Amino acid sequence: DTGVSQDPRHKITKRGQNVTFRCDPISEHNRLYWYRQTLGQGPEFLTYFQNEAQLEKSRLLSDRFSAERPKGSFSTLEIQRTEQGDSAMYLCASSLDYQETQYFGPGTRLLVL
């Protein structure tokens, strides 16, 4: 078991560009979560999947954000037309159905210039 992995670990982009992040959950974990963490704050829930179904989306997830999990394994989070306010750490976590705990990946740190 290799844990949750995320790619890339760091991304610097210019305002207006699109970016895509990938998360590979722990194998056989059917729930996958995306969070955003800004400096000095705890993670804020963005969205979560059970298998390939996106079950819930936060109001934080504007129409510039889209997440997919096409085969119920890895997931991608895309941000279109990035803004400076999108600069943050994007964290992915996974868990088994009804498991008590989530396991987090190392995060992707995004800087929008």
Partner 1 sequence: GEDVEQSLFLSVREGDSSVINCTYTDSSSTYLYWYKQEPGAGLQLLTYIFSNMDMKQDQRLTVLLNKKDKHLSLRIADTQTGDSAIYFCAERSNFNKFYFGSGTKLNVKP
In angstroms, rounded to a whole number, what is the distance separating the alpha carbons of residues 8 and 10? 5
The binding site for partner 1 (CB under 8 A) comprises 4, 31, 33, 40-45, 48, 56, 91, 93, 100-107, 109
Residues in the chain: 113
In angstroms, what is the minimal distance from the CB of 48 to partner 1? 8
Please name every residue paired with 53 in a beta bridge, in sequence order, or none if there are none: 50
In angstroms, what is the minimal distance from the CB of 75 to partner 1? 15
The dihedral built from the CA positions of residue 18, 92, 71 and 68, taken in this order, carries a sign that is negative
In angstroms, what is the minimal distance from the CB of 81 to partner 1? 26
Q: How many CB atoms lie within 10 A of CB 58?
A: 15
